[in-house]
Amino acid sequence: MRYMPHTAEERQAMLQKIGVSSIDDLFVDIPEDARLTGLLDLPKHAPEMDVDAKMLAYGAQNLSPSSAPSFLGAGAYRHHVPSVVDHLIQRSEFLTAYTPYQPEISQGTLQALFEFQTQVALITGMDVANASMYDGATACAEAVLMACRATRRKKAILSCNLHPHYREVTDTTVQFTDFSVESLPPSIDGVEDLTADLGKDIACVVVQNPDFFGRLQDLSDLADKCHEVGALLVVVVTEVVSLGAVRSPGDMGADIVVGEGQSIGVPLSYGGPYVGLFATRQKYVRQMPGRLCGETTDQDGTRGFVLTLSTREQHIRREKATSNICTNAGLCSLAFSIHMSLLGEVGFAKLAKLNHSEAAAAADKISAIDGVDVLNETFFNEFTVKLPVPAQDAVEKLAAKGILGGVPVSRLLPNADGFENLLLITVTETNTDDDVDQLVAALKEIANA
């Protein structure tokens, strides 16, 4: 077995040194009737070559967006990741290090986290960000918990146009706490009154921008109304590339910004691992969940970085901790940070502009199809299309033609009436004009069938 070094002779010598006669003597604490004597009913060990072939075979059964025109979004976005990113995150020193609990020999991870925190704070327009969460949805749930702690209130209002998984994860997370969540029902035209129940008992209002259907809105008035009653405004961003083109949530008055950072540097990987972003105002720092990296100096006065404010965390506070979270999205946050460093001010803005222009051009072509409507007046790189047929059937037909044509709204909102024909279409810098033309031709066929 290639990963384990001991020879039979070495094992024997080690047992002798320990003072036992067989390996079984080291497992005597396992109750006798629960000891396994034979092997588990699983295949025996395999050469690397065989494992390689087996894994390739799994992949071969999937239609890869790398080889098919793909317009999928709904919270996960295909972008070009520069080769440098994956090369650097595979350096042993990043890949195979643990959490930086020994700062003297973990400055690489720590400085990268400090830079990540700064980048996230800058793009969201907030003061501070943490060292990442599991994903956007868990970050959203943690934001609601944090808002309840910070305001000492017990109720949150969730916008109807929040990504359904974010709403479900938030509902699930708070269901056994003292806190409660009011979710407004999904609305096809995006009209909702988030202020109807907004009073002095509300901890926060959670709203997504661009929303699940791709629409953009100015949240400044909503922020003011929240602040008038002492509630926090939580803004969710599932497509962070949009922040290169659109005013930041911080600029609109958000108190907490959470998001999915996958778009920058992280591969689709069938939905995970991704990287949850979490940023807030300075005054709420000590209420934040998750790891935080801070600057300090060493005994020589040289600048260095450490994990800090850990008195908020579970390993110190145990049942009184701000959250039970221990792991972050370490390597994915590094990928995010490297990609963002490559983009810089100029590249980030250009990438956003490119996405928007490709999407706008595609929307014009799609809305010209008879029987197909683009519902959005505003959008960044994702918009909602109304088809004359159920979207679920349409995507299957498109897939049969080798086109990954979008996400049916009904897959995420199966119980909402009137959503069957809605299709979410995302266009990014990875889509060519030919991709769009193929989609338009296929949609025409489907619409006229």
Partner 1 sequence: MLNVGRPSRPGAVTQGHDLESTYTGNKALNLETPLIFEQGVKGRVGVDMRDPKEVKSRLGGLERNEEVGLPDLSEPQVVRHYVRLSRQNYSIDAGFYPLGSCTMKHNPRINEKAARMKGLGDIHPMQPVSTVQGALALIDDLAHWLKTITGMSAVAMSPAAGAHGELCGIMAIRAAHDAKGEQRTRILVPESAHGTNPATAALCGYKVESVPARADGRMDLDAFEAKLGPDVAGVMLTNPNTCGLFENDVKKIADLIHSVGGYFYCDGANLNAILGRTRPGDLGVDAMHINLHKTFSTPHGGGGPGSGPVVLSDALAPYAPVPFVVEEGGNYSLQEQVEEGAAKSFGRMKTFHGQMGMFIRALAYMLSHGSDGLRQIAEDAVLNANYIRVGLDDLLNSPFEGVCMHEALFDDSTLKDTGVTTLDIAKAMIDEGYHPMTMYFPLVVHGAMLIEPTESETKETLDLFIGSMRHLIEKAQTSNDPEFFVQAPKFAPRKRLDETAAARSPILRWTAPE
Residue ranges in 288-347 that form contacts with partner 1 under rule CB under 8 A: 291-306, 308-311, 313-321, 323-332, 334, 337-338, 340-347
10 sits near partner 1 (criterion: CB under 8 A): yes
Read off the tokens for 231. Answer: 């509630």
Contact pick of 44, 152, 191, 449 for partner 1 (by CB under 8 A): 44
165 sits near partner 1 (criterion: CB under 8 A): yes
| 8 Å CB contact between 211 and 137 | no
205 sits near partner 1 (criterion: CB under 8 A): no
Contact pick of 69, 119, 382, 443 for partner 1 (by CB under 8 A): 119
What φ, ψ does residue 194 adopt, rounded to 5°?
-75, -10
256 sits near partner 1 (criterion: CB under 8 A): no
Residues 221-250 that bind partner 1 (CB under 8 A): 243-248
Contact pick of 45, 152, 417, 449 for partner 1 (by CB under 8 A): 45
Residue count, binding to partner 1 (CB under 8 A) = 219
Whichever of 230 and 272 has its CB closer to partner 1, that residue is 272
**Smallest distance from the beta carbon of 188 to partner 1, in angstroms?**
18
434 sits near partner 1 (criterion: CB under 8 A): no
441 sits near partner 1 (criterion: CB under 8 A): no
HSE-up of residue 24 (Cα within 13 Å, Cβ side): 6
Other Cβ atoms less than 10 A from the Cβ of 433: the count is 11
Strands 303-307 and 276-280: unpaired
84 sits near partner 1 (criterion: CB under 8 A): yes
Whichever of 230 and 411 has its CB closer to partner 1, that residue is 411
368 sits near partner 1 (criterion: CB under 8 A): no
Contact pick of 21, 52, 199, 201 for partner 1 (by CB under 8 A): 52
103 sits near partner 1 (criterion: CB under 8 A): yes
Contact pick of 188, 229, 360, 447 for partner 1 (by CB under 8 A): 360
Nearest of 161, 69, 85 to residue 358 by alpha carbon: 69
**Window contacting partner 1 (CB under 8 A); options: 7-15, 147-155, 226-234, 365-373:** 7-15
Query: Could you tell me where the beta strands, DSSP code E, fall in 394-445?
Result: 407-408, 422-426
Read off the tokens for 204. Answer: 């926060």
191 sits near partner 1 (criterion: CB under 8 A): no
Residues 384-423 that bind partner 1 (CB under 8 A): 395-396, 399, 404, 407, 411, 414-415
Whichever of 230 and 390 has its CB closer to partner 1, that residue is 390
Residue 257 CB partners (closer than 8 Å, separation 6+):
124, 125, 126, 234, 235, 236, 237, 248, 249, 250, 277, 278, 279, 280
User: Residue type at 56?
Assistant: L
Q: Taken in order 17, 21, 23, 28, is the CA torsion positive or negative? A: negative
Which bin fits 308, alpha (ψ -120 to 50), beta or left (φ > 0)? Answer: beta
**Smallest distance from the beta carbon of 396 to partner 1, in angstroms?**
6
Core vs surface per residue 39-70: b (16+ CB within 10 A) or e: eeeeeeeeeeeeeeeeeeeeeeeeeeeeebbb
Whichever of 229 and 420 has its CB closer to partner 1, that residue is 420
What φ, ψ does residue 48 adopt, rounded to 5°?
-55, -40
